Amino acid sequence: MTSTLIRGRTLSFRRAPESIDDSGAYTYESDGALLVEAGVITAAGTYATVRAAAPEEVMEIDHRPHLIVPGFIDTHLHFPQMQVMASYAANLLEWLNTYTFPEECRFVETAHAERIATRFFDEMVRHGTTTATAYCSVHKASADAFFAESLRRGMCMVAGKVMMDRNAPQGLLDTPQMSYDETRAVIADWHGKGRNHVAITPRFAITSTPEQMAVAKSLLCEFPDLHVQTHLSENRDEIAYTSELYPEAKDYTDVYARYGLLGPKSLFGHCIHLSEREADAMSETGSVAVFCPTSNLFLGSGLFPLRALTRREKPVRVSIASDIGGGTSYSMLKTLDEAYKILQLQGERLNPFDSFYMMTRGNAEALSLADRIGTLEPGTDADLAVLDMAATPAMALRAEVVNSLADELFLLQTMGDDRSIFETYVAGKPAKSTLGTT
């Protein structure tokens, strides 16, 4: 078995930091190393200790002075929206109807879906993102293209064929029966193959009839271990329209609750305007509210109340995501930069340790996958991002006066992007420097 020893400064979180001084929340080695065998981290610690435990013939890669962190995790995005990014719309519903739905119609073509899937995984790797939770389009072909590419690259991905049977162009609609049959087929074809996870994916209440929501419920009853992903409480007009469509529901969250869709593996994109009752329901079921900063600002949806949700008596689990293509950057560094600003506008702070926790271990915990990804702990998969805080001339100049780990992380988050990703490892193999060569 070939072993690789990857040397550099290493940072991995044990738990959420309580403050910027909470050094017990993470492990940092100024001369650290990881031993990787068959795609898995088998030892981590100081270079001296890991080197001593490594086989004699180990291959050594030296990334000093760069910082090695777990690969970033993006918990909500839409892979068929790569060509929707940067579309000029006043709000969510206009953006969906004018740009997004017509673009997603193109994914009926297998060749198009395959081309975009390849480009999608290239962007993930380029930006240091090694796991994403993705919406495909309504077409099964889009899910096939996505999972085939993820399997080929050995990446850990969560994704689903979107279920939608109303309020969209004909080319983007299935039926309750089709959404059941095709989601089952996607599960049979891809779930558990390589590192693929299939998510049950009703787009949102506006585009699913009650009959289709009932199908989502039956799928979850049949496959209770699967993730569920949908959208919730992103925009005021969306909320009002949902209550017209589901007049019997107490509120938007209750629409999903009525179909048994709340739970610890359920991810709800946005959750900006939840009432206290809705936040209680999310908390009681362990459901996850997904914060999508660049998208929320771009579409003018609102300011996600991160602290209000996590500090309440019944805290709501949260994660963070790009929401491509409502989001405006593939970079989780940029995503956290915008999250920081959203908290600033609410008189709250987001310290750099919190940010790096959120895009690694925090998001892994939100996905219930922290036993595999999101840390540098032995026994987990060797998905890594190697970060360079001096990747651009402006960053290098600023880096001259950085004198703590907190400063470095904050510089990376505030000024960094794909250029700061020196290398990305997927299951122990360099993936960024080898882009386009396999």
Q: Does 234 bind ligand GUN (CB under 6 A)?
A: yes
CA angle 97, 100, 106 (to 5 degrees): 115
Total interface residues for Zn ion by CB under 5 A:
2
Return the range that interacts with Zn ion (CB under 5 A); candidates 53-61, 255-263, 321-329, 364-372: 321-329
Q: Which amino acid is at 158?
A: V
Q: Does 338 bind ligand GUN (CB under 6 A)?
A: no
Q: Does 269 bind Zn ion (CB under 5 A)?
A: yes
Return the range that interacts with Zn ion (CB under 5 A); candidates 11-19, 174-182, 320-328, 393-401: 320-328
- Give residues 196-215 in contact with ligand GUN (rule: CB under 6 A): 203-204
Shortest distance, position 3 Cβ to Zn ion, whole Å: 40
Whose Cβ is closer to Zn ion: residue 128's or residue 269's? 269
Residue 295 binds which of ligand GUN, Zn ion, none (CB < 5-8 A, kind-dependent): ligand GUN
- Specify whether the CB–CB gap between 164 and 183 falls below 8 A: no
Residue 418 binds which of ligand GUN, Zn ion, none (CB < 5-8 A, kind-dependent): none
Residue 204 binds which of Zn ion, ligand GUN, none (CB < 5-8 A, kind-dependent): ligand GUN
Binding residue for ligand GUN (CB under 6 A) from 231, 265, 334, 361?
A: 231
- Which residues pair with residue 430 across a beta bridge? 425
Question: For residue 342, what are the CA distances in angstroms to 249, 267, 339, 345, 411?
Answer: 31, 21, 5, 5, 17
Neighbours of 345 (CB within 10 A): 9
Cis peptide before 65 (omega within 30 of 0): yes
SS3 content of the chain, % helix, strand, coil (to 5): 40, 25, 35
- Specify whether the CB–CB gap between 227 and 200 falls below 8 A: yes
Q: Does 3 bind ligand GUN (CB under 6 A)?
A: no
Q: Does 202 bind Zn ion (CB under 5 A)?
A: no
Return the range that interacts with ligand GUN (CB under 6 A); candidates 37-45, 92-100, 139-147, 280-288: 92-100
Cα torsion angle, 325, 330, 334, 336, sign? positive
Whose Cβ is closer to ligand GUN: residue 92's or residue 219's? 92
414 burial (CB, 10 Å; 0-12 / 13-18 / 19+) is: middle
Shortest distance, position 248 Cβ to ligand GUN, whole Å: 21
Residue 234 binds which of Zn ion, ligand GUN, none (CB < 5-8 A, kind-dependent): ligand GUN
Whose Cβ is closer to Zn ion: residue 165's or residue 323's? 323
- Give residues 345-374 in contact with ligand GUN (rule: CB under 6 A): none
Binding mask 40-79 for ligand GUN (x = CB under 6 A): --------------------------------------x-
Whose Cβ is closer to ligand GUN: residue 130's or residue 230's? 230
- Specify whether the CB–CB gap between 360 and 374 falls below 8 A: yes
Q: Does 295 bind ligand GUN (CB under 6 A)?
A: yes
Q: Which residue is nearest to ligand GUN, using beta carbons?
A: 326
Which H or E run contains 408?
helix 405-415
274 burial (CB, 10 Å; 0-12 / 13-18 / 19+) is: buried
Shortest distance, position 322 Cβ to Zn ion, whole Å: 10
CA torsion angle for 334, 427, 149, 291 (degrees, to 10)? -30
Whose Cβ is closer to ligand GUN: residue 322's or residue 363's? 322
Strand extents, DSSP E, 195-321:
196-202, 227-232, 266-270, 288-291, 317-320
Shortest distance, position 155 Cβ to ligand GUN, whole Å: 22
Whose Cβ is closer to ligand GUN: residue 83's or residue 392's? 83
Neighbours of 190 (CB within 10 A): 23
Neighbours of 79 (CB within 10 A): 28
Q: Which amino acid is at 205?
A: A
Coil, strand or helix at 409: helix
Binding residue for ligand GUN (CB under 6 A) from 92, 239, 288, 343?
A: 92
List of residues contacting ligand GUN (CB under 6 A): 78, 92, 96, 100, 203-204, 231, 234, 295, 323, 326
Residues forming the site for Zn ion (CB under 5 A):
269, 323
